[in-house]
Structure formats: C-alpha cells, structure tokens
Amino acid sequence: QGPVYLGCPMWANPAWAPFLFAKKSSPEEKLRAYAQVFNAVEGNTTFYATPPVERLAIWDRETPDDFRFVFKISKSISHEPMCAHSGHLLRQFFEALRPLSHKWGPFFLQLPPRFKDVDRLAYLADAVPSDVTLNVEFRNPKLFGPAGITDMVSRKLGEWGWGLCCFDTQPFFDTPESQNWLAIMERKPQMPMDERGWGAAPMVRYLGNPHYWKDQVGLNRLLKRSQTWTQAGKPVYLFFHHVDDDRLAPWVAQSFARIHSPAIWNALIQLQTPETQLNLFGE
C-alpha cells in the first residue's frame, strides 16, 4: 500500500501562530515546527524564484528524512512562454533544486486557463530527468470532459510518463457558505474532479467548505479516492487550502487526518482549535 503525504500550500502563514509555531519564530523555526506536524508541503515559492543552494541546505536541515517538498515549476516556463521552447529552462530549474533531490516529491506544472494546446508540452518532455515525477494541473475547461481530463490529454500524459495534479474545488462550490466568498469564486477554477489517479504519484489540491468543520462530504469523497490510489501501491499527495488566505488550512488537513487514519495522524497532527479565527465566521 502506498504512503499518504499531507500538507498545506505553505509552511509559514502568520495566522498559524501561536498554534503551529511561536509568534516570533524565525523562518527556520517555522519550517521545523511545520515539519513536525505534516510530512509534505507545496513549494509554491519556486513559481516565482529559484532558491539559492544555501537556502536548500537550510530546508534540508530543518526537515526529517521522510519529508517531501512538492515544488511548483517556475512561471518563466509555465506562464510566460506557456512552455514553448522552454526545455533548457526546465533543465536549469531541476538542476538548481538537485541538492534537495532526496526530499523531492512530485513536481507540479500549473498551466494558465488560456493554455489549450497540449502539444506544446512536448517542448518539455526531453528535459524531465528520469528521477523526476511530474504532475500537470490544467485549468482550461476545454481539456476536460464530465469525468475529468479528455482522452487526448490522458494519452499525451501517458506518452510522456507524467501524472495529473487535480485542484478539487467542487466541495467549495457545492456548499451554500461559498456564496459569502464571491470574489474567491470568480478567481478559482471549477473543473471536474478526475478520480482515475493518473501518474505514479496522484496529487490533489483540495478546497472545501469555508466552514471546514462542516466539510464531511467533501473530505469523505477525498478519502475514498485516496484509498483507491494507495491500494494500487501509489504514493498520494494531498494539500489542503482554505479560502481565507489559507489561515485555516492546517485545520482542514487535521479534519481529514481524523477520518483517514486516526492511529497514525492524530498522534502527529495535534492542533489547538483556533477559537479566535472561528469567531470570524460567526461560530
């Protein structure tokens, strides 16, 4: 059975103090505290800039051996040229992060909503090293059918040996509470959730009910999907978001952990309920 990796979109949100780390913690202390609770993190900072080798060494030092960084491919590859003629940039990106390769999870390539020509990804195919697992997040509705990505898209991913990163926003859109977050609704994609677990390491970025303590339906669906994938022997990566600037993301993850495997996760994820933050929702 494959392992399950749980985490958040970042490791240092100021709103997580003092529940996850002390208010005056250094960046290193915040990462260390985060890694004592979760075993993976979305590395979204690499979308904007490639970290120097000195910073990679710090990240390595502050995390245990079984911790996984899931780095986001630079926007200089995914968004500015939309992958065209970018193979050399992708090679440089992987080489810059290679000092941390022993803690690599899958990389993820998030494509802009205007991206529709899947053949453009062929520019990158030869630049992906054999030890890299790559998942792609599509945001163009034309690349999806009712059950997920189209046959053409899945065929292309299969040719390159790549997987799929699913941004599961349906639980958010399905709940009445989402109507209080209209600005967020306009920005977030709403694609069919593909349950087939494409690739060697299926990955889901989950956005559920803003009132996370009422999110049992969405979290239970996620549980069933992840169990299917782990039973196939695949490692599964699940990252939990929250509409309010991710300030409650750790507690969404904790809610999932409680139903997934209490014997394992409740011993790890022990977070005090952020009562002051719940007051923001009138609870």
Q: Are 206 and 242 in contact (CB under 8 A)?
A: no
- The pair phi, psi for residue 63, each rounded to 5°, is -125, 150
CA 187 – CA 243 distance, rounded (Å): 11
Q: Give residue 186's pLDDT.
A: 79
The whole-model pTM stands at 0.92
> In the prediction, which pLDDT does 268 show?
56
The answer to whether 121 touches 160, Cβ cutoff 8 Å, is yes
What's the confidence (pLDDT) of residue 132? 98
Kindly state the helix (H) or strand (E) to which residue 133 belongs, with its residue range.
none
Residue ranges of the domains in the chain? Answer: 4-281
Q: How far apart are CA 131 and CA 125, in angstroms?
A: 13
CA 18 centroid distance within chain: 24
Written as tens digits, the pLDDT of the chain (283 aa) is: 999 999 999 999 999 998 889 999 999 999 999 999 899 999 999 999 999 999 999 999 999 999 999 999 999 999 988 888 899 999 999 999 999 999 999 999 999 999 999 999 999 999 999 999 999 999 999 999 988 999 999 999 999 999 999 999 999 988 888 888 877 777 888 888 898 899 999 999 999 998 888 899 999 999 999 999 999 999 999 999 998 889 999 999 988 988 887 655 655 556 666 654 444 344 4
Separation of alpha carbons 158 and 193, rounded Å? 18
User: Which residue in 20, 45, 40 sits closest to 30, CA to CA?
Assistant: 20
Cβ burial, residue 72 (10 Å; 0-12/13-18/19+): buried
Place of tokens 């490791």: 11
**Model pLDDT for residues 69-116, shown as the tens digit of each residue:** 999 999 999 998 888 889 999 999 999 999 999 999 999 999 999 999
Q: CA-CA distance, 82 to 112, in Å (whole number)?
A: 8
Q: Rounded to an integer, what distance in angstroms lies between the CA atom of residue 47 and that of residue 109?
A: 9
Q: Strand ranges (DSSP E) for the chain?
A: 4-7, 40-43, 68-71, 107-110, 134-137, 144-145, 148-149, 163-168, 203-207, 236-241
Q: Taking the CB of residue 46, how many other CB atoms lie within 10 A of it?
A: 20
The two tokens of residue 117 are 């020509």
Name the architecture of domain 4-281.
Alpha-Beta Barrel (3.20)
- 10 by DSSP, 3-state: which? coil
